[in-house]
């Protein structure tokens, strides 16, 4: 029986429902003498630290030690991209930035000790918004730019033109498990770190850097994460480094776990963006030229902001051929948390802008938005603005047409019009939007992965690979891949938690590519092992090695078969090595970061969604009545996992675009720093009717078992909800462009309805914060 | 277990998964912290403020619904919002108790089969909420997914969890059913003291008032869903807590032809169960009031006494002309709720005084609705809340009007001038507009992260119009 492609439950599902699945902070009782760490927090968003007197903390009963810059034997920095993140800063760069850490026998002692530390600051002027950063020229890097054609003259000669602006809010990851690390000295004087990290190798690098020791002295393991979504790609590093510094200093195990209110105040988020655009188009709605400037609010350090911006620029075409496109990206340095990777990694912001622009074109011309969208689709033979041929461009229209059909888009539009005519204070809207998402790390070197497969004499197998499990089902897929490859049942395969002493120099579990990369590495290792076992089996079965077949726990030739374990035992006796390393590097990709041209992506993942909403004009409240999704996952490796990624990604995207709102006040304090002030989608946000289908006949050649990446692309299907809201808002008026900043909170929708009704520009009144990130 | 053994000791005793446990008194350690320190790490801390439900466990409570034969029911709660001494005498089950040595419990198996977990961190909490629903006495049909409305999941988008709930039929006759056939533990009086920390749970109102007057620093606590947020998030520490959970006077329900009296310490979820013919508006209100996990602990008295301008209870109770019965060592008094709120988070409660009950006069108004505008429809804090109650005379003119709001002023309030603007007018658009103008003139809301002042002001008038329109639309239809 084929194992790959079966709808199996999550590999840890049993542990999840019983509570037996362990996360980093569940291990505390295994560490006698463990110390708890609590930070001393700066009360300013931007300041110079004048004086730090930590000694009074030691008077607090139960306080064992204080960590300051003086305790760093190596380099006082955790910046991955650029060494710009001091662990113990002299200049405060965001509100509540830790300036020291107190270690106590209990968390309470550490917290009380931290309150006793005396710090003096000289406040400096903070830059808190994109607008302020533009005025102050506060940028992390020089502009990034992709140019195709002459957009200036194409704009000038376009029959229609407009200019516009779109503010796009950020998003808190709100992984249910906050940042957690435990570090202790191992038996031989090295350091061991149990960390909730998406990138054990980089955590290892940063710990080694801070301690001033070689990386082989540091081992990092990640059992599993309680969600990550990009928020633990680099942001786990400083907390692991603090735990390691504490263990190094005290020789005792040290735990760092951020409570939610600190996790939200200290860690980075999805980048808020501001887009300014000029578009030129013809009478039929064909876009002829687009001049685009994207500003990202990157916060205090560079972090992953450059590749995030690059991906935003790469995805500012979404599924559309734009003959003349001039896209510039500027990364703003502000005195806020360091914004970072988050599912989609800039792609969602880039895509949102072009979808916003196309809706404006449609409403300027009084054409249905879906007609304008499909008229602009890429066709076979087209290339993107960064010079990559659009592989399988025909799938865009194929998905689109099939979904229009199955969702009954056209008849429902007529129905909605009837409903709206009868209801002055409630309006419905519907929209269909497509997704094209490039798969691969844009930094070509990261597109490699290793695996180590160990067969024991009883035929049981341990699989080590470089990917971490954060709920996305990677281990589930890897187990299916390994079982399928070796022809053994899944129960014979155990997936080991990733450790840096098993697979070195791994890439982050990110960019949706982890089953592509690690899965292929596992296949490679399994193939080598089968190649070694086949001659052994051939000898035992009296067959030729070429006839040997591995399936269902047996090794067979024709109608003769032996149990896998028996062949393994025989191989051992013949002194055949029963372990193999696998390796994979993505072929054919290349990309020049200077010109921003090349083939950064191995392939594209496609999808489309139709959403219908209903708005209450009295309040701006709305609900999603129905969503239909058709998504391209290639040949699904694991349908239950993939459906979970599509549905969960969609709802997370819906949260980003509708109700999740980050508000900072004029001092740079995050006002939405807890679950009571920052609202995630709950039951009430689940569409009343929700249909999800996978595209059939979609095998992706050259990718493991014909599958496609699925982690990030579905998030952007939620753009259909925002566009449906704009459609419903428009129905309150008599046509015209609907400007709507993101997220579309009920308040923003309320004012947009008011504008549509009055057909007069009503100035949008924002909430108290200076910036609605 | 008898309460006398806990008298004046520093040890809290209760049952966890059928085993008696003891813990040192602490007034900031939560039940969640305690369970995790005992290696019961299934319950997780996701937010520490009762919003996410990852820490959910169940208490065995009396089955007040009288539906089903059971004496008891499993009541899911947020263990992050229960301070350790509040668990004294309780019987608690955690996710670790559910599975047999080989087989998963039905609710667990359903979650596995439907792909209800991804990262798994929130899963034990969902499982416990679903477990309580699965064994709910008198349940017919599938499990109601809304039983898990106090649980947040960041991975799945809820659809598979919903399907897991809908796949579950009647619960088997197993040891959990058997447990529910027996009475729940009585929540008796306790008195705990250790190293300067005092926790008292008196058994009579008189005792409670005496304790309260003896220590003006003592803090009164009911379900603690607000108080523990203060300690978890803001580091607030208490030295003396007096719990009202064992006071029969505060847990009473009484209904006669003149009024309904709701004990101040009834859990919110108990109210619609006890008030069997409660009007629809009360049920609508409860659905919007926090989440099931909170409603199993939070109380009306607590919600009023914190005097938050955005509390969910005040607007409706104001519109219903509710009164509050207060008790102090001087005796009892009854005052209108409208005069209870004296300023931002200030009340008419004197030193040593507490709320015994809330009185709702009968008959209830003809037309009454509760509205809550919040960023998220369910389990959110309101940006603006409003309750409107209108009686029309035989000529269709407004004979009585109550317009009550939360979130538009430092206190929850009735807008008397706007009510007057409605009186005597015919119930139509013009009279609504008149009242809207008054609202616009009178109210001065603030801007914060939940909404701008302009939006709040707009909502004050807009909700009134919506109230009118929906009745009008109904009449037309």
Which chain B residues touch A767 with a CB distance below 8 Å?
447-452
- Assign B158 a pLDDT band (cuts: 50, 70, 90): very high
Instruction: Report chain B residues whose CB lies below 8 A from the CB of A473.
Output: 118
Asked whether the beta carbons of residue B233 and residue A175 sit closer than 8 angstroms, the reply is no
Sheet containing B367-373: which strands, arranged edge to edge? B367-373, B384-392, B398-406, B413-414
Is some CB atom of chain B closer than 8 A to the CB atom of A473?
yes
Residues on chain A touching B376 (C-beta within 8 angstroms): 659, 679, 681-682, 684-685
Rounded distance between C-alpha atoms, residue A22 and residue A439, angstroms = 31
Interchain contact B145–A (C-beta under 8 A): yes
Inter-chain touch A619–B162, beta carbons under 8 Å:
no
Q: Do residue B120 and residue A472 have CB atoms under 8 angstroms apart? A: no
Instruction: List the end-to-end C-alpha distance of chain B, in Å, as a whole number.
Output: 60
DSSP string, A402-463: HHHHHTTHHHHHHHHHHHHHH-SSEEEEEEEEEEEEEES-SSGGG-EEEEEEEE-TTS-EEE
The confidence score (pLDDT) of residue B475 equals: 73
Tell me if chain B has a CB within 8 Å of the CB of A248. Answer: no
Q: Does B49 touch chain A (CB under 8 A)?
A: yes
Cis, bond preceding A693 (omega within 30 deg of 0): no
Is the Cβ pair A644, B118 closer than 8 Å? yes
What number of other Cβ atoms are within 10 A of residue B93's Cβ? 22
Interface test with A, best of B449, B462, B472 (most A CBs within 10 A): B449
Residues of chain A with pLDDT below 50 are 760-773
Concerning whether A689 is annotated as a catalytic residue, the answer is no
- Could you say which of A17, A260, A685 has the minimum Cβ distance to residue B127? A17
How many CB atoms sit inside 10 A of residue A747's CB? 26
- Report d(CA B392, CA B424) in Å as an integer: 9
> Taking a contact as any Cβ pair under 8 Å apart, which residues of chain B between 197 and 236 contact chain A?
229, 232-233, 235
Contact A176 B122 (CB under 8 A): yes
Of A20, A641, A671, the CB nearest to B449: A671
Residues of B in contact with A224 (CB under 8 A): 119-120
User: Quick one: which of B407, B372, B376, B386 has its CA closest to B289?
Assistant: B372
Predicted local confidence at residue A769, as pLDDT: 37
Going by the DSSP 8-state scheme, the letter that residue A468 receives in this structure is P
Element at A585 (helix H, strand E)? strand A579-585
- Quickly state the pLDDT bin for B379 (edges 50, 70, 90): confident
B376 closest CB neighbour out of A115, A260, A682: A682
Kindly list the residues from chain B whose CB atom is less than 8 angstroms away from the CB atom of residue A648.
118, 154-157
CB-based contact, B456 to chain A, within 8 Å: no
The dihedral region occupied by A630, where left means phi > 0, alpha psi between -120 and 50, and beta the remainder, is beta
Q: Check B104 against A14: CB less than 8 A apart.
A: yes
CA neighbor of B383 nearest in space, from B465, B294, B446: B446
Is B472 in CB contact (< 8 Å) with chain A?
Answer: no
A422 touches chain B (CB under 8 A): no
- Tell whether B129 is within 8 A of chain A (Cβ): no
Tell me the chain A residues in contact with residue B446 when contact means C-beta distances shorter than 8 Å. Answer: 768
pLDDT digits (tens, 9 = 90+) for A177-192: 999 999 999 999 999 9
Residues A9, B113: C-beta atoms closer than 8 Å: yes
Closest partner residue to A746 among B145, B233, B375, by Cβ? B375
Size of interface A-B (CB pairs under 8 A): 243
Q: Which of A304, A85, A262, A274 is nearest to A170 (CA)?
A: A274
Of A644, A672, A751, the CB nearest to B160: A644
Cis peptide before A98 (omega within 30 of 0): no
Q: What is the pLDDT of residue A762?
A: 38
Which positions in chain B touch A471 (Cβ < 8 Å)? 117-121, 155
Q: Which of A194, A355, A712, A723 is catalytic?
A: A712
Opening angle at CA A255, ends A249 and A261, nearest 5: 125
Residue A83: exposed, middle, or buried by beta-carbon count in 10 A (0-12, 13-18, 19+)? middle
Cβ <8 Å between B154 and A174: yes
How far B115 CA sits from the closest chain A CA (Å)?
Answer: 6
Chain B residues inside the 8 Å CB shell of A686:
157-159, 162
Q: Look-up: residue for tokens 């113990």?
A: A88
Note whether A619 contacts B466, CB cutoff 8 Å: yes
B31-85 per-position pLDDT tens digit: 999 999 999 999 999 999 999 999 999 999 999 776 666 799 999 999 999 999 9
- Residue B466 sits at the chain A interface (C-beta within 8 Å): yes
| For range B114-143, the mean pLDDT | 97
**Is B157's Cβ below 8 Å from some Cβ in A?**
yes
CB contact under 8 Å between B451 and A17, yes or no, is no
- Does this model's pTM top 0.95? My answer is yes
Residue A763 has a CB neighbour count (10 Å cut-off) of: 8
CB contact under 8 A, B120 and A224: yes
Looking at beta carbons, which residues of chain B come within 8 Å of A663? 449
Which chain A residues are Cβ-neighbours of B53 within 8 angstroms? none
CA-nearest residue to B229 within chain A is A676
Residue B67's pLDDT is: 62
- For chain A, say whether B79 makes contact (Cβ under 8 Å): no
Task: Please name the residue of chain B whose CA is at the shortest distance from the CA of residue A23.
Answer: B121
Q: Under an 8 A CB cutoff, do A768 and B452 touch?
A: yes
Query: Counting beta carbons within 10 angstroms of the beta carbon of residue A458, is it exposed (0 to 12), middle (13 to 18) or buried (19 or more)?
Result: exposed
- The pLDDT value recorded for residue A773 is 38
HEC profile for chain B?
A: CCCHHHCCECEEEEEECCEEEEEECCCCCEHHHHHHHCCCCCCCCCCCCCCCCCCEEEEEEECCCCCCCCCEEEEEEEHHHCEHHHHCCCEEECHHHCCCCCCCCHHHHHHHHCCCCCCCCCHHHHHHHHHHHHCCCCCCCCCCHHHHCCCCCCCCCCHHHHHHHHCCCCCCCCHHHHHHCCCCCCCCCEEEEECCEEEEECCCHHHHHHHHHHCCCCEEECCCCCHHHHHHHHCCCCCEEEECCCCHHHHCEEECCCEEEEECCCEHHHHHHHCCCCCHHHHHHHHHCCCHHHHCCCEHHHHHHCCCCCCCHHHHHHHCCCEEEEEECCEEEEEEHHHCEEECCEECCCCCCEEEEEEEECCCCCEEEEEEECCCCCCCCCCEEEEEEEEECCCCEEEEEEEEEECCCCCCEECHHHHHHHCCCECCHHHHHHHHHHHHHHCCCCCECCECHHHHHHHHHHHHHHHHHHHHHHHHC
pLDDT > 90: percent of chain B: 91
How big is chain B by its Cα radius of gyration, in Å? 23
Contact A461, A493 (CB under 8 A): yes
CB–CB of A19 and B119 under 8 A? Answer: no
Mutate to test the interface with B, among A9, A19, A113 (most CBs of B within 10 A): A19
Q: Which of A17, A227, A676 comes nearest B51 by C-beta?
A: A676
Q: How far is A676 from chain B (nearest CA, A)?
A: 6
Nearest 5 degrees, angle CA A685-CA A369-CA B159? 20
Q: Is B429 on the interface with A (CB under 8 A)?
A: no
Nearest CB to B462; choose among A174, A619, A648? A619
Q: Which residues, numbered 692 to 751 in chain A, qualify as contacts with chain B under a Cβ-Cβ cut-off of 8 Å?
A: 745-747, 750-751
B311 vs A: CB within 8 A: no
């Amino acid at each position: 029986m084929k194992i790959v492609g079966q709808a199996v439950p999550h590999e840890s599902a049993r542990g999840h429902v019983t509570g037996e699945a362990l996360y980093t902070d569940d291990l505390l009782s295994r560490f006698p003498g463990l110390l708890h760490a609590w930070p001393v927090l700066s009360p300013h968003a931007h300041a110079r630290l004048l004086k730090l007197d930590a000694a009074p903390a030691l008077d607090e009963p139960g306080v064992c030690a204080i960590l300051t810059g003086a305790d760093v034997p190596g380099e006082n920095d955790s910046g991955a991209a650029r060494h710009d993140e001091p662990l113990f800063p002299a200049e405060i760069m965001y509100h509540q930035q830790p300036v020291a850490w107190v270690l106590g026998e209990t968390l309470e002692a550490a917290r009380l000790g931290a309150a006793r530390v005396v710090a003096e600051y000289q406040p400096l002027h903070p830059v808190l918004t994109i607008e302020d950063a533009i005025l102050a020229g506060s940028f992390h890097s020089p502009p990034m730019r992709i140019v195709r054609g002459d957009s200036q003259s194409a704009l000038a000669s376009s029959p229609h033109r407009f200019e516009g602006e779109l503010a796009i809010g950020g998003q808190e990851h709100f992984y249910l498990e906050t940042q957690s690390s435990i570090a202790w000295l191992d038996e031989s004087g090295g350091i061991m770190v149990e960390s909730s990290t998406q990138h054990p190798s980089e955590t290892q690098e940063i710990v080694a850097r801070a301690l001033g020791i070689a990386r082989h002295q540091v081992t990092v393991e990640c059992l599993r994460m309680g969600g990550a979504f990009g928020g633990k790609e680099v942001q786990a590093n400083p907390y692991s480094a603090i735990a390691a510094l504490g263990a190094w200093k005290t020789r005792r195990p040290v735990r760092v776990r951020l409570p939610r209110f600190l996790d939200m105040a200290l860690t980075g988020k999805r980048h808020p963006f501001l887009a300014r655009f000029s578009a030129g188009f013809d009478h039929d709605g064909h876009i002829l030229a687009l001049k685009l400037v994207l500003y990202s609010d990157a916060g205090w350090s560079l972090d992953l902001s450059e590749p995030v911006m690059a991906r935003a620029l790469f995805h500012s075409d979404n599924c559309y051929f734009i003959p003349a496109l001039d896209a510039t990206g500027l990364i703003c340095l502000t005195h806020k948390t360091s914004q970072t990777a988050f599912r989609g990694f800039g792609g969602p912001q880039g895509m949102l802008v072009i979808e916003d622009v196309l809706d404006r074109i449609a409403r300027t011309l009084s054409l249905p938005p879906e007609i304008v969208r499909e008229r602009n689709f890429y066709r076979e033979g087209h290339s993107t603005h960064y010079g990559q041929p659009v592989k399988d461009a025909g799938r865009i229209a194929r998905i689109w047409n099939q979904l229009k059909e199955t969702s009954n888009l056209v008849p429902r539009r007529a129905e909605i019009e009837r409903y709206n005519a009868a209801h002055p204070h409630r309006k419905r809207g519907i929209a269909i939007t497509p997704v094209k998402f490039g798969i691969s790390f844009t930094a070509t070197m990261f597109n490699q992965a290793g695996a180590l497969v160990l067969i024991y004499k009883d035929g049981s197998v341990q699989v080590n690979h470089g990917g971490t499990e954060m709920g996305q089902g990677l281990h589930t897929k890897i187990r299916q891949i390994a079982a399928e490859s070796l022809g053994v049942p899944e129960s014979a395969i155990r997936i080991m938690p990733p450790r840096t002493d098993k697979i070195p120099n791994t890439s982050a579990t990110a960019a949706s590519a982890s089953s592509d990369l690690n899965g292929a590495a596992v296949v490679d290792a399994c193939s080598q092992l089968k190649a070694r076992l086949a001659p052994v089996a051939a000898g035992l079965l009296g067959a030729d090695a070429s006839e040997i077949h591995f399936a269902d726990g047996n090794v067979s030739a024709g109608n003769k078969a032996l149990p896998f374990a028996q062949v393994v035992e025989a191989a051992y006796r013949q002194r055949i090595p029963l372990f193999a390393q696998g390796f994979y590097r993505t072929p054919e990709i290349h990309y020049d970061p200077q010109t921003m041209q090349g083939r950064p992506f191995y392939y594209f993942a496609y999808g489309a969604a139709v959403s219908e909403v209903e708005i209450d004009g009295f309040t701006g409240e709305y609900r999603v009545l129905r969503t239909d999704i058709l998504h391209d996952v290639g040949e699904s490796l694991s349908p239950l996992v993939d459906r979970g990624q599509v549905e969960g990604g969609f709802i997370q995207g819906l949260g980003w675009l509708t109700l999740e709102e980050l508000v900072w006040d004029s001092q740079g304090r995050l006002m939405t720093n807890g679950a009571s002030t920052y609202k995630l989608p709950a039951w009430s946000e689940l569409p009343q009717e929700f249909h999800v289908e996978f595209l059939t006949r979609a095998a992706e050649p050259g990718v493991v078992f014909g599958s496609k990446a699925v982690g990030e692309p579905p998030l952007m299907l939620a753009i259909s909800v925002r566009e449906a809201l704009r459609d419903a808002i428009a129905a309150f008026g008599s046509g015209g462009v609907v400007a709507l900043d993101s997220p579309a909170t009920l308040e923003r929708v309320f004012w947009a309805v008011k504008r549509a009704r009055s057909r007069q520009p009503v100035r949008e009144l924002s909430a108290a914060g200076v910036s609605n990130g | 277990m008898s309460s006398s053994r806990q008298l004046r000791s520093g040890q809290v005793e209760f049952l966890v998964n059928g085993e008696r446990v003891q813990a040192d008194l602490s007034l900031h350690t939560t039940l969640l912290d305690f369970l995790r320190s005992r290696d019961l790490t299934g319950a997780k801390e996701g937010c520490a403020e009762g919003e996410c439900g990852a820490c959910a466990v169940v208490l065995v409570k009396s089955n007040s619904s009288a539906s089903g034969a059971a004496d008891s029911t499993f009541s899911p709660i947020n263990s992050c919002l229960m301070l350790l001494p509040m668990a004294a005498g309780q019987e608690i089950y955690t996710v670790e108790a559910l599975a047999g040595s080989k087989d998963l419990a039905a609710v667990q198996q359903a979650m596995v089969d439907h792909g209800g977990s991804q990262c798994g961190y929130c899963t034990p909490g969902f499982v416990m909420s679903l477990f309580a629903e699965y064994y709910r006495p008198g349940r017919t049909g599938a499990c109601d997914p809304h039983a898990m409305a106090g649980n947040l999941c960041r991975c799945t988008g809820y659809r598979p969890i919903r399907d897991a709930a809908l796949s579950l039929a009647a619960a088997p006759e197993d040891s959990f059913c058997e447990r529910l056939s027996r009475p729940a533990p009585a929540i008796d009086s306790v008195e705990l003291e250790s190293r300067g920390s005092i926790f008292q749970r008196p058994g009579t109102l008189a005792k409670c008032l005496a304790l309260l007057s003896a220590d003006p620093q003592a803090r009164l606590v009911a379900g603690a869903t607000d108080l523990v947020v203060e300690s978890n998030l803001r580091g607030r520490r208490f030295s003396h807590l007096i719990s009202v959970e064992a006071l029969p006077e505060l847990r009473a329900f009484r209904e006669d032809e003149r009024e309904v009296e709701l004990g101040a310490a009834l859990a919110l979820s108990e109210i619609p169960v006890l008030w069997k013919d409660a009007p629809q508006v009360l049920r609508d209100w409860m659905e919007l009031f926090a989440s099931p996990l909170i409603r199993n602990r939070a109380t009306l008295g607590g919600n009023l006494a914190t005097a938050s301008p955005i509390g969910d209870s005040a607007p409706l109770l104001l519109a219903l002309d509710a009164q509050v019965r207060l008790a102090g060592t001087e005796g009892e008094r009854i005052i209108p709720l409208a005069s209870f709120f004296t300023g931002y988070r200030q009340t008419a409660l004197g030193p040593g005084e507490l709320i015994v009950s809330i009185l709702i006069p009968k008959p209830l108004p003809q037309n009454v609705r509760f509205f809550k505008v919040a960023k998220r429809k369910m389990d959110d804090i309101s940006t603006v809340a409003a309750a409107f109650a209108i009686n029309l005379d035989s000529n269709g003119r407004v004979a009585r009007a109550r317009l009550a709001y939360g979130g538009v002023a430092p206190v929850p309030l009735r807008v008397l001038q706007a009510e007057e603007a409605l009186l005597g007018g015919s119930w139509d658009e013009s009279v609504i507009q008149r009242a809207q103008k008054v609202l616009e003139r009178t109210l001065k809301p603030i801007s914060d992260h939940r909404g701008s002042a302009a939006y709040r002001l707009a909502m004050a008038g807009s909700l009134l119009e919506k109230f009118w329109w929906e009745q009008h639309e109904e009449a037309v239809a």
